[in-house]
Amino acid sequence: MDKRLGIVGVVVEDPCCVEKVNALLHEYAELIVGRMGLPYRERGVSVIALIVDGLNDDISAMTGKLGRIPGASVKTMIAKTNAQ
């Protein structure tokens, strides 16, 4: 299988779920090339942007688990071509 490059956006709307999100991201740390997190205080949310590089199944597993955390919203974009 070929590795894929992608971007994952996470909006954390409930501060109570931050620990669950961080624990899950730590579990999939081998996929994460870069991470940027910003609190957006005016809206009362936090936004996390991830650059990921891995097998499509692994990326999907991570984002699926993230999406099942109450209070977190996730969107993913995967490059059309395989990572080199």
Contact 18, 11 (CB under 8 A): no
How would you class 29 by CB atoms within 10 Å of its CB: exposed for 0-12, middle for 13-18, buried for 19 or more? exposed
Entry pTM: 0.90
For the CA atoms of 54, 25, 28, 80, what is the dihedral angle to 10 degrees?
-10
Instruction: Give me the mean pLDDT over the 8-37 stretch.
Output: 96
Model pLDDT for residues 25-50, shown as the tens digit of each residue: 999 999 999 999 999 999 999 999 99
Q: Residue 82 above 80 pLDDT?
A: no
Count other C-beta atoms under 10 Å from residue 62's C-beta. Answer: 22
- Residue type, position 38, single letter: L
If we measure between CA atoms, which residue out of 67, 60, 52 comes closest to residue 13?
67
Delineate the domains of the chain, giving CATH numbers in brackets. Answer: 3-82 (3.30.70.1150)
